[in-house]
Chain A
Amino acid sequence: MISDIHKTDTLWVPFYALIVAVVSEFLSWLLIYRTSQYKKIKNDVDRAVKKLSRSKDAVVGILNKKAQSKKIKDDERELQKLNRDMYSMRMKGQFFLMLIMGAFYAISASSFEGIVVAKLPFEPPWFLHGLTHRGLVGQDYTDCSYSFLYVISTICLRINLQKLLGTAPSAAQAQMMPSGFQLPDQAAAMR
C-alpha cells in the first residue's frame, strides 16, 4: 500500500524550519549578541585565539623551547577560561530559546501527527525509526515523519543562516570551544 503523502508539507516543513531559524537568530541577537558584555568577551576571545596562534607559530631556538611551551600553556589556559565565560553567557540565553523552540516544535509536531510528509529514498536503520517514523502508522519505514524532515531542515538552514549573518563562531574558536554548543531546537526535536 502506497502511503498518502502530503507533498505540500514536503515544502512547508523546511519553510517552518527557516522561520524558526530566523526567529531563533533574532532572539539570540536580542538576548545575547547585542549585549556589551558579550561583545567584550567575544573580542577578548578573538584576541586570545590570535595570541595563542602566534605563540604556536613562533620559531624559537632549542634553548627557548621550554619557555615557549610554558607560554603556549598559559595562553591556552586563558583561552579556555574566556571560552567558558562565553559559553555560560550563551547558555543562559540559549536555555530560554530552547524553551521557546521546544514549545514551537511540540505544537507544530502535534499538527503533523500521523501525516507522511515525504518519502525517504532509503530505509533508515532501526535506531532511527523513532525519529524518521515518529507518529506514523504502518511498517513502511521509508515513510518520513515531520520530525526527521524538520531536523534535517534545521541542520541545513540554521547553520547557513548563522554563516550568512556572521553569528557562527569562527573556525579558530569552533575548534577550541567546548562541545556543548549544540543547536537548542535540534535537542528539542530529538526528544
Chain B
Amino acid sequence: MQPSDSDHAPGPASAAASAAKKSSGRKATDEKDKPLPLWQKAFLRDAEFDKNEVADVLHWTRQFAALVLGIAFGLMPVKGIVGVAGGPLLIVITGLSWSRYVDVGEDVMEPKHILMEGTLPAIGTFLLFWVSVYTLVHF
C-alpha cells in the first residue's frame, strides 16, 4: 500500500478531484437509466460511490475473500503462522485493491478507514471456515 501523501481533512484539491471524476466518470445506470445494483456498480472503474456504498462493498468483498481463503486454507491445509498472518493480510489487501481499482477518494473515505472497514468480521469468517474445514476434512 502506498503511503498517503497527507492525513489531514480533505480540502479543495480533493473536492476538485471528486468533481472531475464526477464529470468524466461512467454513469452507473443501465439502458433504462435506472441506477445499477451495488454489486454491479462495484465492477465499474469510474463509478462514483458514497461512504456507505464504499463500506458495504469493502465489507462484502472482504467477507467473500475470507470465505474463499478459509475454505482453501482448510483444504490444503495451511497451518501455523503462515495461515494466521497470511489470511488476514490477504483479506486486507483485497479490500485495498478494490478501493484502488475504483479510486476511492479521501473525501469519500480516509485510507485508515478503508484499511479497517469490515476487516474484523472478515477475520472471524476466515477463522471459522479455516478451522471448520480443516477439522472436517483432515480428522
Interface residues of A (CB under 8 A from B): 2, 5, 7, 10-11, 14, 53, 56-57, 59, 118-123, 144, 149, 152-156, 159-160, 163, 170-172, 174-175
Shortest beta-carbon distance from A37 to chain B in Å? 24
**CB neighbours of B83 from chain A (8 A):** 121-122
Supply 28 A–B pairs (Cβ within 8 Å), ascending by A.
Answer: A2-B139, A5-B135, A5-B139, A7-B135, A10-B131, A10-B132, A57-B10, A119-B134, A119-B138, A120-B134, A121-B74, A121-B78, A121-B79, A121-B130, A122-B83, A123-B80, A149-B128, A152-B124, A155-B120, A156-B121, A159-B121, A160-B125, A163-B60, A170-B55, A171-B109, A171-B113, A171-B117, A175-B113
B59 beta carbon closer than 8 Å to chain A = yes
Contact at A121–B121, with CB atoms within 8 Å?
no
Who on chain B is nearest to A163 by CB?
Answer: B59
B42 beta carbon closer than 8 Å to chain A = no
Who on chain B is nearest to A162 by CB?
Answer: B121
Who on chain A is nearest to B122 by CB?
Answer: A156
Give the docked Cα–Cα distance between A147 and B139 (Å): 20
**CB neighbours of A10 from chain B (8 A):** 131-132, 135-136
Give the docked Cα–Cα distance between A145 and B83 (Å): 20
**CB neighbours of A57 from chain B (8 A):** 10, 15, 107
**CB neighbours of B128 from chain A (8 A):** 14, 149, 152-153, 156
Contact at B134–A121, with CB atoms within 8 Å?
yes
B23 beta carbon closer than 8 Å to chain A = no
Who on chain A is nearest to B63 by CB?
Answer: A160
Contact at A144–B131, with CB atoms within 8 Å?
yes
Contact at B81–A122, with CB atoms within 8 Å?
yes
B77 beta carbon closer than 8 Å to chain A = yes
- Report B106-117 CB contacts with A as 1/0, cut-off 8 Å: 010100010001
Give the docked Cα–Cα distance between A188 and B76 (Å): 34
Give the docked Cα–Cα distance between A14 and B79 (Å): 22
**CB neighbours of A121 from chain B (8 A):** 73-74, 77-80, 83, 130-131, 134
Question: In this complex, which of A59, A120, A122 has the most chain B Cβ atoms within 10 angstroms of its Cβ?
Answer: A122
